Amino acid sequence: MLSARSPLSVKNENTVSSQMSNMSLDKENTPPSLNTTRILASKTARKIFDEPAPKAVKKSSREEQEEPLLKENPRRFVIFPIQYHDIWQMYKKAEASFWTAEEVDLSKDLQHWESLKDEERYFISHVLAFFAASDGIVNENLVERFTQEVQVTEARCFYGFQIAMENIHSEMYSLLIDTYIREPKEREYLFNAIETLPCVKKKADWAMNWIGNKKANYGERVVAFAAVEGIFFSGSFAAIFWLKKRGLMPGLTFSNELISRDEGLHCDFACLMFKHLVNKPSAETVTNIIKNAVQIEQEFLTESLPVKLIGMNCELMKQYIEFVADRLMLELGFTKIYRVENPFDFMSVEPDITPILWYSPTRFSKKLVFPSREMFSMKSKGFSTR
C-alpha cells in the first residue's frame, strides 16, 4: 500500500524507479514510496543494526566491589522500596522544578537588544553560544558514563531527569540566539561555538577530556562535572544577573533564574553522590581539579570574553569565581582554597524565585521552596505572583 503522507505522482514514477535501480538495496524489501534519501537512511539503519552493540564502559573490579553506588544491582529496574532516601528526595526536588522553554516570554527582549551597545550584544551572544553547547556536553557525560556506571535506581532517576532538563536548557539558549541574532551566518557561527570560538573550545575540551578519561575514577569525574556546572557556569550566570540588576532583557534574565536554579541542584546532587562514595579522591586531587576549573573560568571572563564589555569589574569577577569555588569545596567536604568574600551584592537571595546558587550566603541554612509551574508561566507573561 502506498504511503498516505507522500504518494508517488505519475510523472515522477520513472525518475524514482531509475534512482532505485541504481541502489544496492534489496528491491523486494523496499517500500515503493521511499525516495532516495529515505533509501539511504534505510541502508544506513541496516548497517547499524548489523554491527555489534558498543561495549558498556568497563569499571575496574575493585571500584565495582567497594563502591555501593557502582555495584551490580539486579533490582535497579524497580524503584521501590527506596534504599537511598536522600538521593530520592533530590530527584523529587528536580521533578517539582520542571519547566519548559515555552513558559519564557521573549516578546520584550528584542527592543532591549536593539538598545544595547555593540560590545554588550557581543558579550551576551558569545555567553549564550557557550551555554548552548555546554548543556549538550553535560548530557554526553551523563549518557556515556554516569548512567552506565551508577547502579542505584534513585540516582539513575535523577540522572534521567537531569538529561531532560539539560535538553530544555539547550533549547532555551538556542531559542535565545535564534531570537536575538538575525544574520544566518552569525547564528551558525554561534551555534558551532565549540569549533569557531577558541575561548569556548577550551572549556568544552576540558569537560570532554574528563568524559573520555579512562583512568579517572567515578569520584574524580563527579568532582570535575560539579566544577563544570558549579564553576564554568557561575561567572556567566552572574553576568546575566548583572543585566537583570540594570533592568535589561527580562526574558533572558528570567530564563537565567530558572536555569541557574536547576544547575545549582545538579551541583548539589554531584556533591551528594560524592559523599556516598567509600573511596573518595584525596583533598589534593580535588583541589587540583577545582583550581584548574577556576583558572579556565577566570581566563574566559576576564581575558577571552571580559565582563568589562557589559560594565562589570574583571577583578571582582575573578574574586567571585574563587568564592564560588570555595563554596563547592565546602559542599564536597573539604576546606576553602581562596578564603574570599562574595564581591557581588546582587548575587544573593532573589526576591521572587530563589535560584539554587552557590553564592547565596543563606543557601545552606534555608529550606528551598520550589515555585509551581503556574507561577513560572504567570511570571513569564508579566503577571504579578505576589
Does a structural domain hold residue 7? no
* Burial class for 338, CB neighbours closer than 10 Å (0-12, 13-18, 19+): middle
Does a structural domain hold residue 71? yes
Does a structural domain hold residue 78? yes
- Band (333; pLDDT cuts 50, 70, 90): very high
Express each pLDDT in 124-145 by its tens digit: 999 999 999 899 999 999 999 9
Tell me the percentage of the chain whose pLDDT exceeds 70.
Answer: 73
* Burial class for 286, CB neighbours closer than 10 Å (0-12, 13-18, 19+): buried
**Which amino acid type is present at position 367?**
K
What is the CB neighbour count within 10 angstroms for residue 213?
13
Does a structural domain hold residue 23? no
- Cβ neighbors of 344 (< 8 A, separation 6 or more) are 238, 242, 316, 320, 359
- Band (45; pLDDT cuts 50, 70, 90): very low
Which residues constitute the domain of residue 128?
Answer: 36-367
Q: Distance between CA atoms of 281 and 354, rounded to whole angstroms?
A: 32
Contact 210, 141 (CB under 8 A): yes
Output the CA torsion 258→260→261→263 (10° steps): 120
Please, what is the angle between helix 250-275 and helix 118-141, to 10°? 30
Best mean pLDDT range from 46-55, 70-79, 313-322, 362-371: 313-322
pLDDT higher than threshold 90 for residue 157: yes
- Measured in whole angstroms, how far is the alpha carbon of residue 218 from the centre of its chain? 19
In degrees rounded to 5, what are phi and psi of residue 354? -90, 105
What was the pLDDT predicted at 304?
85
CATH number, domain at 234? 1.10.620.20
Tell me the percentage of the chain whose pLDDT exceeds 90.
Answer: 67
- Measured in whole angstroms, how far is the alpha carbon of residue 369 from the centre of its chain? 22
Contact 88, 157 (CB under 8 A): yes
Total count of domains within the chain: 1
70: left (phi over 0), alpha (psi -120 to 50) or beta: alpha
What was the pLDDT predicted at 300?
93
Active site residue 173: yes
Per-residue pLDDT averaged across 344-363, rounded? 49
In degrees rounded to 5, what are phi and psi of residue 21? -65, -25
**Which amino acid type is present at position 182?**
R
pLDDT higher than threshold 60 for residue 339: yes
Per-residue pLDDT averaged across 28-40, rounded? 42
Please, what is the angle between helix 118-141 and helix 218-227, to 10°? 160
Cβ burial 173-207 (10 Å sphere, 16+ → b, else e):
bbbbbeebbeeeeebebbbebbeebebbbebbebb
What was the pLDDT predicted at 65?
65
Express each pLDDT in 186-239 by its tens digit: 999 999 999 998 889 999 999 999 999 999 999 999 999 999 999 999 999 999
The pLDDT mean for the chain works out to 81
pLDDT higher than threshold 70 for residue 353: no
List the grid coordinates of 78: 524497580
What was the pLDDT predicted at 50?
54
Q: Residue 81: is the preceding peptide bond cis (ω within 30°)?
A: yes
Per-residue pLDDT averaged across 318-324, rounded? 97
Express each pLDDT in 65-106 by its tens digit: 689 999 998 889 988 999 999 999 999 999 999 999 999 999
Instruction: Please tell me which residue in 84, 91, 159, 173 is annotated as part of the active site.
Output: 173
Per-residue pLDDT averaged across 155-173, rounded? 97
